[in-house]
A and B are shown apart, each in its own frame.
Chain A
Amino acid sequence: MPESTHYGILAEFKSPETLVEAAKRARARGYRELDAFTPFPVHELDDVLRLRDRRVLWFGLIGGAVGFAIALAMQMFTNFDYPINVGGRPLYPFSAFAVVAFELTVLFGALFPAVGMLAINGLPRLNYPVFAASRFHLASKDRFFLCIKAHDPRFDPSQTRRFMQTLGAESVELVPA
């Protein structure tokens, strides 16, 4: 049958430990297109699933730089555009500009990663195959799900399902695309 009809197979575990264990074995089995759904971050997964993505941090760095630049440009331009003697202070008192510069650095430094994170995660995404899974609501409660995606080369509905059961999953479910 065409893969497109499936999203993948979801296996439910009781604890992060069992999930991580299962994930390891799945990778050992050669599955690569894995994902996990957990009620709270489980750090071990990052290594097991070989998750690597530093873009969010870069967003932060860029944002900070942008904010700083904007602030400085804005303050210098306003004084360049209409130069006025204010209390005998210089036109470009960087000591005074530093404050707003810092603020905007922080502002953009925070805005960029926040928005960026959602963007890369493809959020908002209200409708998603896994939501259709019968026990998936437990993923935000106390259950830990491992998912082998359908487009994994070694994915085969029946085999993979059988394999999953061997991992000691509470339940295994085939998620339609």
Chain B
Amino acid sequence: MKRQNSQTFDAAEARRLLARGGGRRFWASLEELIDQDGFRGWLEAEFPSAAAVLTEPGRREILKLMGASFLLAGLGGCGETRSDLALPYVDQPEEIVPGMPRFYATAVPLDGCVQPVLATIHAGRPTKLDGNPEHPVTRGASDPFTQAAVLQLYDPDRSQAPLRDGLPATWSAFQDELIAMRRDWAARQGEGLRILSGDITSPTLIRQLRQLLSEFPSAKLHLFEPIGSALRPEAARLAFGREMDFHYRLENCDALVSLGDDALGPGPRQVLHARGWSQRRGESTPGQGRVTMHVAESVPSLTGTVASTRLICDASQLAVLAQALAAELGVAAAPAESLGESEHRWMTSAATDLREHRGRSLLAIGAHLPPPIQALAPLVNDRLGNSGATVWYGEPVRFSPSGASSLADLVRDISAGAVDTLIVLDSNPAYAAPGELAFSDVLPRVRERIHLGLYRDETAHLCRWHLPLAHPLESWGDGRAVDGSACIIQPLLAPLYGGRTAPQFLAMLLGAVDPPAEDAVRETWANAFGGDFDVRWRRSLHDGFVADSALQPIAVTPRPVDIPPRPPRGSDHVDVVFAPDPSVWDGRFANVAWLQELPKPLTKLTWDNVIAVSAKMAEQMQLANGDMIEVAVGDRRVAGAAWIMPGQARNTVALSLGYGRSAAGKIADGLGYSAYSVRSNSDGWLAVGSLRRVGGRQPLATTQMHHRTDGFDFVREVSADHPSLPQETHPQPNLYPPWPYPREAWGMAIDLDLCIGCNACISACTAENNIAVVGKEQVAMGREMQWLRVDRYHTGDIDDPRFYFQPVPCMHCEKAPCEMGCPVHATVHSPDGINQMVYNRCIGTRTCSSYCPYKVRRFNWFDYRAPADSPTHAAHNPDVTVRSRGVMEKCTYCTQRIQAARVAADKDGRDIREGEVVTACQQACPTTAIVFGNLNDPESAVAKRRRSGRHFVLLEELGTRPRTTYLARWNDAPKKDSS
């Protein structure tokens, strides 16, 4: 019957409508669809996932919503919204309250692991992701990648239909071919069948892969992750004779010594580590001893910026340092090379602190250092009794079957002609494979090339079949968080484009026809849960993760390692280090505009990657920022814009991965250079190379041009001998009588001691407040729109500066200069002390911005809204107006959240409770650096911070009486270094 319908119903037409993508036009087209006969039948056929969703109570509305409520949902203010139309449900589920957001727990993957999230759904469309407050890893905090996932969901550049030889095809067509292929594989036991995938933690995928490999014994699985866990597995093998994950417990750590281990830097573990570190650092203020951090690194990292002592040494020298430290602590032989004077001083003080804080100290060695060196860390920590306290070891979270082999093996086999079918699972080797392997050259030699991915990327272009992968937010699936706990990924809406999930795809490989998305996952957990499946399944869906599924520590004793001598290095050569990009990671997020426009923490660069060189190097080569230079590693070379990085080791050059994409999408193509091209297979993290100046300059877009703050007191510090700042005892005199704030007086206090500059706040603000992306040229002109900026300053010697981060939102001054300047009452004060910006009253005189001493206001110079038909409008928060051309905007303290709490409180006739209003930046911050609340409530966290001795006001002398204030940073550098 349904099939019949789908006969009468032109599926191709439907797919075209769907694939056409684009804002209202898109939704409208879905509407048209709903009216068409046989849509549901066709839907069953083409979108079992959606159909499954439809039948599942609680999500029934999703598709209808997609058709209908997007119009209702008021893509607030984005162009000529069809506010004249109203489309009710046909059948409204009970729990739906139109206009009220709902929340679902799910997870988004990063590097194979997943980040547990809580998604905000407005009228059936996810608009915001935040860390899952229930989950031990995130506890509600998040990072930029998590925040931006929701924009990627609506990316119109995502591939929208299967392609065969680059021509539109259908899933059915693929499945037809698959039948033949399977017959072929079966005949040859899977000989010549290869599957290439990134790191996998999904129990379902693992189950399915195992099944596949057992069905076709001779088939092979190759794992390739450009970043992943770097060289940790080898290190673990050296130390323990088996693969293990290292887990830090920074919340227990009084003395942390890091050798190039950027524990607080971007990555799957950032939130976990940042929370632990800040918890310890926060506690320590009352006086449970300071956290001392000794960091040795070649390139400034977020961890380095908050260190007590920071030793700058070339990347290759770190190994020697580690060896010396291990020797000092008596777990290894002294290195052949001797240390420099400062290196030795640092090493001894580090060793002392490690010893003094036995059981509460931690030696962390970067996962990209040579495995034998890394293997020293477990020895030291074991010796100091830190194992189990500040670090523990567990089963690898990532799938690492004995049979699995590497990308290099694959390339070798292909060249040997041993591969005739290659299936690429959501991986992009054609772009990200080490240049040395020249993967894209050999790939075409494979007869049958099948690619499953979100985008039609570099690899997809080289494959016969490209199959669109459903976005995690529209998928059924599962995966493990970094702590090993299993998270269930559930769809928040039916696939926008013709995508299928990875488990669905594998099910097809296993012979299923049009497998429903949910089945594979259900099956996995049905096995796991056994009897009380329904209860535990529903609970897991609700919580977003499977209760007590986290991995348990395993008691292991590290074995001593012998360290091979370091290969000699020519004096004219430099250390070339590779690092993931803080905005686009390994390149998978390259087409997400929010991330491209996110100023990178330490350079404040947007839309580009650069070749970071030390000031000395720049001096020697007479380089200025933006000059084109070329890095040569062996016979491979890559050219990029030079960037002078203060505090970088003299002979170290830093390349960041993730740029130089050629088929990422309209946003990312052609930005920056690809560091992969000079990456070697043996060691992808440190190479010996040379530097050469090539002609020309490249314009770079930074959001902050000046970083030296010497002579100004924007950021203040306290230290052991001056533990508190001079506090203002009586308010400054003012010509005018003060305004009363009888009810709430909202205020924010930002602890500079806890800020690690991770940008979570900025990206959360972008997502929450519909902040426009303006593009590289506009950013270069100084027209970026982020309401919240994280200023980065440095003081002292440019070769060894001290770094500071200072988040600067609107100060919400009680005596606001901006308000007094506005001729039309477009920015005025509210009774709870918020500096209101009324877009619809603004005529754009920009006086407010001229008068603002903090320059926190942003102006819509052009119409920065996405084109009316862009699907990205669906990511908009309907509770926040999308600003049109010619109006000023700025941080509102997330007033929509305050109003929501206000209404909730008023409906029950009570006051707003402490913690009831949480701003987006505060919610995302993994270190609780940002605190928001009611200043009139002496018990509120913000009021408490205001009473702290470290409290200070930015530009206090201007008498603007800001509501946003700061806590000074604690300078715990030892006397001799501190200036």
Which B residue's beta carbon lies closest to that of A93? B736
Give the distance in Å from the alpha carbon of A176 to the alpha carbon of B356 in the complex: 123
**B685 → chain A, closest Cβ, in Å?**
54
Give the distance in Å from the alpha carbon of A34 to the alpha carbon of B830 in the complex: 71
B736 touches A88 (CB 8 A): yes
- Interface membership of chain A positions 81-99, coded 1 if the CB is closer than 8 angstroms to chain B and 0 otherwise: 0101111111001000000
Which chain B positions have C-beta within 8 A of A82?
A: 825
B736 touches A85 (CB 8 A): no
* Residues of B789-844 whose CB lies within 8 A of A: 813-820, 822, 825, 828-831
For the complex, is B737 an interface residue (Cβ under 8 Å from A)?
yes
Contact among B736, B818, B830, B961 for A89, CB-based, below 8 A = B736
For the complex, is B739 an interface residue (Cβ under 8 Å from A)?
yes
A88 touches B815 (CB 8 A): yes
**B958 → chain A, closest Cβ, in Å?**
13
Which B residue's beta carbon lies closest to that of A91? B739
Contact among A84, A88, A89, A93 for B825, CB-based, below 8 A = A84
Give the distance in Å from the alpha carbon of A90 to the alpha carbon of B815 in the complex: 11
For the complex, is B731 an interface residue (Cβ under 8 Å from A)?
no
For the complex, is B286 an interface residue (Cβ under 8 Å from A)?
no
A87 touches B737 (CB 8 A): no
Which chain B positions have C-beta within 8 A of A88?
A: 736, 738-739, 813-816, 829, 961
* Residues of B700-739 whose CB lies within 8 A of A: 736-739
**A99 → chain B, closest Cβ, in Å?**
13
Which chain B positions have C-beta within 8 A of A89?
A: 736, 815, 820
A87 touches B817 (CB 8 A): yes
Give the distance in Å from the alpha carbon of A85 to the alpha carbon of B739 in the complex: 8
**B854 → chain A, closest Cβ, in Å?**
14
Give the distance in Å from the alpha carbon of A128 to the alpha carbon of B299 in the complex: 95
Which chain A positions have C-beta within 8 A of B736?
A: 88-90, 93
B737 touches A84 (CB 8 A): no
**Partner-B contacts on A (CB < 8 A):** 82, 84-90, 93
- Interface membership of chain B positions 580-592, coded 1 if the CB is closer than 8 angstroms to chain A and 0 otherwise: 0000000000000
The B interface, classified by DSSP as helix, strand, loop or mixed, is: loop
Which chain B positions have C-beta within 8 A of A84?
A: 825, 828-829
Give the distance in Å from the alpha carbon of A88 to the alpha carbon of B829 in the complex: 8
Which chain A positions have C-beta within 8 A of B828?
A: 84-86
A86 touches B819 (CB 8 A): yes
Which A residue's beta carbon lies closest to that of B833? A85
Give the distance in Å from the alpha carbon of A90 to the alpha carbon of B734 in the complex: 12
21 example contacts (A-B, Cβ-Cβ < 8 A) are as follows A82-B825, A84-B825, A85-B829, A85-B830, A85-B831, A86-B825, A86-B828, A86-B829, A87-B813, A87-B815, A87-B817, A87-B818, A87-B820, A87-B829, A88-B815, A88-B816, A88-B829, A88-B961, A89-B815, A90-B736, A90-B737
Give the distance in Å from the alpha carbon of A72 to the alpha carbon of B831 in the complex: 26
Which chain B positions have C-beta within 8 A of A93?
A: 736
Which B residue's beta carbon lies closest to that of A84? B828
Which chain A positions have C-beta within 8 A of B961?
A: 88
Give the distance in Å from the alpha carbon of A89 to the alpha carbon of B817 in the complex: 10
**A78 → chain B, closest Cβ, in Å?**
9
Those 7 A-B pairs whose CB atoms lie nearest each other, nearest first: A87-B819, A85-B829, A87-B820, A88-B815, A87-B816, A84-B828, A86-B819
Give the distance in Å from the alpha carbon of A143 to the alpha carbon of B764 in the complex: 86
Give the distance in Å from the alpha carbon of A85 to the alpha carbon of B830 in the complex: 7
Which chain A positions have C-beta within 8 A of B829?
A: 84-88
Which chain A positions have C-beta within 8 A of B830?
A: 85
**A81 → chain B, closest Cβ, in Å?**
12
Give the distance in Å from the alpha carbon of A86 to the alpha carbon of B738 in the complex: 12
Which chain A positions have C-beta within 8 A of B739?
A: 85, 88
**A106 → chain B, closest Cβ, in Å?**
20
Give the distance in Å from the alpha carbon of A90 to the alpha carbon of B738 in the complex: 9
**A88 → chain B, closest Cβ, in Å?**
4
Give the distance in Å from the alpha carbon of A93 to the alpha carbon of B831 in the complex: 19
Give the distance in Å from the alpha carbon of A90 to the alpha carbon of B830 in the complex: 14
Give the distance in Å from the alpha carbon of A90 to the alpha carbon of B814 in the complex: 12
Which chain B positions have C-beta within 8 A of A87?
A: 813, 815-820, 829
Give the distance in Å from the alpha carbon of A93 to the alpha carbon of B734 in the complex: 14
Among B736, B813, B818, B822, max chain A CB count under 10 A is at B736
**B560 → chain A, closest Cβ, in Å?**
69
**A41 → chain B, closest Cβ, in Å?**
44
Give the distance in Å from the alpha carbon of A97 to the alpha carbon of B538 in the complex: 66
- Beyond A87-B829, A88-B814, 8 additional contacts (C-beta under 8 Å) are A84-B829, A85-B739, A86-B828, A86-B829, A88-B739, A88-B816, A88-B829, A88-B961
**B663 → chain A, closest Cβ, in Å?**
52
Give the distance in Å from the alpha carbon of A88 to the alpha carbon of B959 in the complex: 12
Give the distance in Å from the alpha carbon of A90 to the alpha carbon of B739 in the complex: 8
Which chain B positions have C-beta within 8 A of A85?
A: 739, 828-831
Give the distance in Å from the alpha carbon of A86 to the alpha carbon of B820 in the complex: 6
Which B residue's beta carbon lies closest to that of A88? B815
**A80 → chain B, closest Cβ, in Å?**
14
Give the distance in Å from the alpha carbon of A85 to the alpha carbon of B822 in the complex: 13
Which chain A positions have C-beta within 8 A of B815?
A: 87-89
Give the distance in Å from the alpha carbon of A85 to the alpha carbon of B812 in the complex: 13
